[in-house]
């Protein structure tokens, strides 16, 4: 991967092999040497996700594939209303409305 810097004065661009050669020649520090592989090229950065992150990612994918509306439940409610069997618990409705009102 070549690093291209433009618009900066006194700055020239160098490619990966030139950088590797410069690092080899000017640095004897072990941490810099460990970044260079045996072939004279820079090691690539890697990212490793934890088990928890992988689980969260797979669960997020499953959630994204779910429909926004549960059409089976909608059909059940429609059929219950059409048949006159849909009952509304007015106490529960009032309680839920009051709890929602307290949020604002």
SS3 36: strand
> For residue range 78-93, what is the model confidence (pLDDT) as tens digits?
999 999 999 999 999 9
Distance CA 77, CA 86 (A): 7
Q: What's the confidence (pLDDT) of residue 10?
A: 44
Question: Can you tell me the mean pLDDT for 18-34?
Answer: 52
Say whether pTM exceeds 0.85: no
Q: Give start and end residues of each alpha helix (H) in 16-89.
A: 16-26, 30-33, 51-64, 71-83
pLDDT at 85: 94
What integer pLDDT is reported at residue 56 of this predicted model? Answer: 92
8 Å CB contact between 11 and 5: yes
| Cα of 80 vs its chain's centroid, Å | 41
């Amino acid at each position: 991967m070549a690093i291209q810097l433009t618009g900066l004065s006194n700055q020239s661009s160098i490619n990966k092999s030139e950088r590797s050669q410069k690092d080899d020649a000017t640095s004897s520090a072990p941490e810099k040497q460990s970044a260079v592989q045996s072939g004279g090229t820079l090691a690539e950065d890697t990212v490793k996700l934890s088990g928890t992150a992988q689980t969260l990612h797979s669960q997020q994918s499953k959630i994204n594939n779910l429909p926004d509306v549960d059409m089976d439940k909608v059909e059940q409610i429609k059929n219950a209303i059409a048949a006159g069997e849909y009952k509304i618990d007015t106490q529960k409705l009032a309680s839920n409305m009051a709890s929602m009102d307290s949020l604002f």
